[in-house]
Structure 1
Amino acid sequence: MNKSLFYRISQFFGFLLGAKVFVTALLAFALYVSTYFLFNKFESFRIFIFDYKVHGLILCSLLSILAGGIINQFYDKEKDILTKPFRSRIQNFLKQRYFLYAYIFLNLSSLGIAALLSSRIFLFLLIYQFLMWFYSHKLSKILFLNNITFVALTLYPFFGILIYYRNFSLEIVYSALFLFFTLLILDVLKDTLTKNADKIFNYSTIPNVFGNKVTIVNLVFLIVIDILISMKIIDHNGLNNIWTYYFALGIFVFIFCIYFLVNNLKNSKFLTLNLLRFWLFVGICAMLLNGIFN
C-alpha cells in the first residue's frame, strides 16, 4: 500500500476514534428508537418522519456528542496512552490542532442548526456543550462528581427529547432510573480497569480512594437497585411483551454479574463491563422489536 494512502487512512481512523464516532452511532440508534417507541406515544409514524424539529434536536445532540468526545480525548490524552495505547497510536497520525478545529466546527454547527429550530433548543445545546467541556476540564477528576456527571451527560440528549414530547409516564421514569444506574455501574467498572493510570494522573475515583473491596460492595449495591427497578417495571406492566421480558431476563444477567464480582474471578470486571454493555444494546433492540410487534 502507498505510504501516503496509508497515512491518510490512519488519519481518518484516528479522527473517528478521537471523536468516538462509533459510540455516537450507537447513541443515534438509541435516540431514534427511544424517541419513537418510548417518548412519542401520540404521533403517527408519518407525523414523526416529517417532524423536522425532533430530527434537528437529535442531529444537534449528536454533533455536540462528537465534539464532546474530541474535547474529552484532548484532556485525557496522556492517560489514554497508558489505558488505550492502540487507539492513541492511531490518533497520533492526526495533529491535535485538527481535533480542536473539528471540536469548534461541530459545536458551532450544532448551535447554528439549533438557533434555526428554536431559542430553547439553542439554550439546551449551549448548556450541554458547556457541561461537556467542564466535565472534561474539571469534573472528570473529582470523586463521585466524575461518575454522576458522566452518566448525566450521557442521558442529557434523552432528557431533551423527553421535554420535547412532555411525556412523563411512570414507565419512562422507571426506564430512566434503570438506565441511570446501569450507566453508573459501567462507569465505576471502567474506573476499576484504569485504576493505575487514574492514580498517576490524579483522577480521584472510587477504586483509587476506597479500594477494591468497597468498590465491589458499591457495585453490588447498584446492581441490586437495578434488579429492584426491573422487578418494579415487570410488576407495573405485566410480563406480556418483549420489553418486560427483557427486564425479566436482565435479572438473571445481573445475578451473573454479582457472581463474577463477588467471587473475584479472573477478568471478572472486564467480563461484567462487556456483558452489561451488550445487555444495554439488547435493550435498545428489545425496545425496537416491542414497538414493531405491539
Structure 2
Amino acid sequence: MLSRKNKLLLLKLLSLFSIVRGYNVLMIVIAQYLASIYILAPNLPLWKVVFDLSLFVLVLASSLVIAGGYIINSFYDSEKDLINKPRKTMLDRLVSQQTKLSTYFVLNFFAVLFASYVSFKAVLFFSGYIFGIWLYSHKMKKIAFVGNLVSALLAITPFFAVFVYYKNFETVIFVHAMFLFLLILARELIKDMENIAGDIALNYKTIPILYGTKYAKAYITLLVVLTLIPAILLIKTFDVGYMYLYFIASIVLLIFFLILLWRSSTKKHYVLLHNILKFIIIAGVFSILLINVDLVLNRIL
C-alpha cells in the first residue's frame, strides 16, 4: 500500500497534470504530427517525418509552452475557477501558487532552449508565443472581444510553427486554419457563457456580461455561420479526400448546435454546447487520416 506521503505526491502529480491539461497537450502533439505526415509533407517517407529531430523539438517546445500557458492561466484565474469549477479547483490547489510559477518558468526556459536547436528564428517565435500567452492571461482575457480573439489565435499558433518549418503555404492549409480558428473562437464565447458567475465576481468584461446573453448568442451564431464557409469550400473546392465526410458531419452538428444554443439558458446547457464544439475539433484531428486513405494504409501496412 502507498504511504500517506506517496499518496500526497501522487495527488500533487495528478493536480499538476490537471492544471497543464495534459490531455489537451497530447491532442495538439497528435494534431501536429498528423498534419505534418498527411498534409504538410505527404511526399516524404513516414520515417523521415516521424524521426525528424527538428520537428520533434518544435513539437516538444510547443507542448512545453502550451503547458506553461495553462499554468499561468490557472495562476491568474485561481479565484475565478474556485467559483466556476469548484471540484477541479480543489484538486488544482494541491499545487501551491509558488510551485505553479516555478514550473511555469522551468517549462518556458526549456522550450526556448530546445527551440535554439532548430534556429534563432524558432527562439524568437517561441519567445513571442510565451509573451503572448502571458499578456493574454494577465491582461487581455478580461477585455471583451480582444480576449476571445487573442485566445483563439494563440490556440492555433503552434500549427504555424510546423507550417513554416515545412514551408508549405498552400491555400487549402489556410482554409483549414480558418475553419479551426472560427470553431475555437465560438468555443471561447461559449466558455464565457459557462463562466459568467465567476467573471461577474471578479469584474471580467466579457461579451455576455457587457452586452447580455442574447447578444452573445447572436455573435456565436455569426461565427458558426462563418465557419460553414471554409467547411463548404473544403468540400467543394479543395481535394481533401474522404475528409469531406467529416466536414459534412460538422455542418450537420453545427446546425444542431445553433438550435440548442438558442434554447439554452443554464450552465449545464452551455457545458453541453462547449462539448459539441470540442468534439468537432477533436474529431477533426483524427479525420486528417481521411485525406489520403491509401497513403494511410500504405504507411500502416
Per the TM superposition, whether the score is higher than 0.5 is: yes
Aligned residues: 293
User: How large is the Cα RMSD of the aligned pairs?
Assistant: 1.7
Whole-angstrom CA distance in 1 between matches of 2:272 and 2:92: 27
Deviations 1:61-108 (A, max 9, x none): 111111111111101111111111112111222222111111111111
Paired position in structure 2 for 1:23? 24
Residue 124 of structure 1 is matched in structure 2 by 125
Distance 2:13 2:115 in 1: 27
Share of identical aligned residues, percent? 28
Query: How far, CA to CA, are the matches of 2:51 and 2:145 in structure 1?
Result: 41
Which is further off, 56-65 or 39-48? 39-48
Q: What residue in structure 2 maps to residue 251 of structure 1?
A: 251
**2:242 aligned with 1:264, yes or no?**
no
Structure 1 unaligned regions, length at least 5: none
1:228 positional shift: 2.1
1:264 and 1:85 map into 2 onto residues whose CA distance is 22
- Alpha-carbon separation, structure 2, partners of 1:263 and 1:79: 26
Tell me, yes or no, if the aligned pair for 1:151 and 1:184 is still in contact at 8 Å: yes
**Runs of 5+ unmatched residues, structure 2:** 296-301
Cα distance in 2, alignment partners of residues 259 and 25 from structure 1:
32
Q: Which amino acid aligns with 1:246?
A: Y
Shift of 1:46: 2.5
* 2:209 is the alignment partner of 1:204: no
Determine the structure 1 residue equivalent to 2:299. none
Pair 1:289–1:235, CA change in 2 (3 A): closer
Contact 1:181–1:222 (CA<8 Å) still a contact in 2? yes
- CA deviations on 1:17-74 (whole Å, 9 max, x unpaired) are 1222221111111111122212224422122133211111111111111111111110
Of the structure 1 ranges 108-117 and 260-269, higher mean CA displacement relative to structure 2 is found in: 260-269
Relative to the length of structure 2, the TM-score reads: 0.92
The corresponding residue for 2:92 is 91
Q: Secondary structure at the match of 1:202?
A: coil
**AA partner of residue 150 (structure 2):** T
2:46 matches 1:45: yes
Q: Which amino acid aligns with 1:119?
A: F
Native 8 Å contact 1:237 1:244 kept in 2:
no
Measured against aligned partners, the alpha-carbon deviations of 1:216-257 in whole angstroms (never above 9, x if no partner) come to 11111111111122111111136x832111101111111101
Q: Which amino acid aligns with 1:3?
A: R
Q: Name the CA distance, whole Å, in 1 between partners of 2:103 and 2:54.
A: 24
